[in-house]
Structure 1
Amino acid sequence: MTALADGRSVSPVGPRHVAIIMDGNGRWAKARGLPRVMGHREGVKALKRTVEAAPRLGLQCMTVFGFSTENWSRPADEVSDLMGLVRNYLTSDVDRMEREGVRLRVLGRRRGLPADIVEIIERAEARTAQNTRFILQVAFNYGGRADIVDAVHRHVELVMAGEIRWPLVEKTLGAGLSTAGAPDVDLIIRTSGEKRLSNFLLWEAAYAEMVFQDILWPDYGEAALAEAVVAFGARERRFGGVEARTAMAAG
């Protein structure tokens, strides 16, 4: 059993890879009469708490939805604030990630991002590339459909270069996704009570369990993550078959 900060314990039988749609920053700020950027800033604090708690709960990998390909349509000042938060987070936390064995991967399209953010991302990824304790994947300028399209384009380019042949099969397409190399997604969490994927990890969600929690993201932390992990442990995962398999057997 894993002991938590509040004295509770969690069974080691649980998900290896958890993905989170961090929803509710704007509503958290609105409820307090604050500008939306304050909700996003508190959301970054919640992310730090949650990443720190994840290894204690037996997680090996976490993928979070930071900024989607659709988020560019938000007001320009909000987009600018979000870009600033990413700059600050990746710059200020890379030392801690490197020290604590966290490998950072940033998913999504680099084209269209400000040049300095691309440089910060590449530098942070390079500094943490050899870390093996935990993987943190941040989906930034990411969309599930766009990622699948990009994977198909990569396959076509390799075929035209004579490196591989047709036909395109699931294994080959999966290898072209930005998530390639990470463990399969076991559990997808969405906060704020909303119940949809919003173009997040569409391919990877095929057999993932889903937990929807009625908590706004800035209030998230170890206790809420533990509740989702416990809920996952109570599920029977069939993977399209008849006989149930536990999370441990499936792993």
Structure 2
Amino acid sequence: MSTLEIRDLHVSIETDQGTKEILRGVNLIINSGETHAIMGPNGSGKSTLAYTIAGHPRYTVDSGSITLDGADVLEMSIDERARAGLFLAMQYPVEIPGVTVSNFLRTAKTALDGEAPALRSWIKDLRGSMEALRMDTSFAERNVNEGFSGGEKKRHEIVQLELLKPKIAVLDETDSGLDVDALKIVSEGVNRVKENTGLGVLLITHYTRILRYITPDFVHVFVDGRVVEEGGPELAERLENEGYDRYLTGSTVG
């Protein structure tokens, strides 16, 4: 059992207009085997939370804490966070020219485990994961995300998730840019990893459509850099019907 705990997290960035506070006291606890959906309008700070957990240097933690199994995540370098069991699937996966998918994944696995995986079993696992995600295995010899469609990039993120086996995964708008078929395949991949490994999932999304395939245990409404309401799957259904207006115009946001 692993636990990612976020306590009273305040985060800011530097802009041309000066320092801007983005996160204003976020509290979350995510355990192994749980799926937490964070939903909110554009600009509410959802991606800022994801990148702060991962250690993006642009974001400054002004106060609060992030711990994984009691260890101080904020004191860890980015690679140390990955080795501790944190994973970020990016909203906009980047291209890495000159590095093949196969080499990228095996190098990452070696860095996490401290030793290279046996080549024969590794190739079998890689092919199996790609086939399960309806991804042509020839992509293993292509450069990372170079010339990939949006759906192929997102499937590759889930291949990483399946092979690297983190404890807690932050999925930043994994549904963005996916058609219905790709959305189902990606969701099946997330569910498969969760079932096989007990993965804890923090799923960031604007819309409920991915939640039809990845059922959340908890839904957190994120507005103006803080969680303004929490509930179960029924809360997502209400958001589908009502939108976020009640939070944007009410006194909750403050």
TM-score by length of 1: 0.29
Which structure is higher in helix share? 1
Greater strand proportion: 2
- Normalization by structure 2: what TM-score? 0.29
